[in-house]
């Protein structure tokens, strides 16, 4: 009888606990800070000049340590001023890490690559880029709505932190 009762309690509790876990996991998966994180995380450089292909490899190796490459690839930054500023800002941030990912000597190559690539994908093929940009913003907006919905669900169910005193 006792075992039967435990079985019944477990049967009711399991989906509740699993549900809370699933909602929290899903919330974590949806938590990207920038809408451009949601786009593609690689560039087809097969038609770029060889030198740009080499620079692309450095960019891939160095700029994917703390966030995916999607952040750079789909951001609206395009001018040399913008890229120089950001790449140096990343370098300063990197200096505060235990293990350094960015090497000063390689940063010029990274900036040169990003400026060249921006000219091709974001300016010459600007219409396509703007359309994709809007798609990513819409997707981000939809994710945001889902995040709010999940958060409400989690709060209403009550987390251990909100129970007791
Ligand atoms: C040490 C970790 C680290 C490395 C390495 C790094 N980033 Fe970042 N990056 C961040 C963090 C953290 C943010 C978000 C906070 C911010 O922008 O200050 C960010 C944000 C960005 C953004 C978005 C900025 C915005 O406000 O729109 C771009 C673009 C970017 N990084 C490009 C790069 C490029 C290009 C490289 C390689 C040169 C790089 N990152 C390497 C940590 C890093």
Separation of alpha carbons 117 and 122, rounded Å: 8
Q: Which of 114, 162, 150, 123 is nearest to 21 (CA)?
A: 150
pLDDT < 70 regions, the chain: 1-20, 159-165
For ligand 1, say whether the CB of 55 is within 6 Å of any of its atoms.
no
Q: What is the pLDDT of residue 22?
A: 84
Separation of alpha carbons 47 and 50, rounded Å: 9
90 C-alpha to ligand 1 centroid (Å): 5
pLDDT in tens, 52-90: 999 999 999 999 999 999 999 999 999 999 999 999 999
Question: Which residue's CA is the closest to the ligand 1 atom numbered 7?
Answer: 90
Q: What is the pLDDT of residue 2?
A: 62
Q: What is the pLDDT of residue 6?
A: 57
**In the predicted model, what is the mean pLDDT of the chain?**
87
44 C-alpha to ligand 1 centroid (Å): 21
Residues 6+ apart with CB under 8 A from 102: 62, 63, 65, 90, 91, 94
């Amino acid at each position: 009888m006792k075992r039967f009762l435990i079985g019944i309690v477990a049967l009711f509790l399991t989906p509740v606990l699993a549900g809370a876990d699933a909602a929290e996991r899903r919330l974590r998966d949806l938590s990207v800070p920038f809408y451009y994180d949601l786009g593609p995380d690689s560039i087809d450089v097969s038609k770029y000049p060889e030198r740009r292909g080499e620079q692309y490899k450095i960019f891939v190796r160095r700029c994917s340590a703390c966030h995916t490459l999607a952040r750079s690839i789909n951001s609206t930054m395009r001018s040399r001023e913008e890229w120089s500023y950001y790449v140096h800002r990343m370098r300063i941030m990197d200096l505060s890490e235990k293990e350094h990912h960015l090497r000063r000597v390689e940063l010029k190559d990274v900036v040169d690559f990003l400026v060249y690539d921006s000219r091709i994908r974001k300016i010459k093929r600007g219409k396509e880029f703007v359309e994709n940009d809007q798609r990513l913003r819409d997707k981000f907006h939809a994710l945001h709505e889902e995040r709010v919905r999940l958060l409400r669900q989690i709060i209403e169910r009550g987390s251990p932190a909100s129970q007791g005193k």
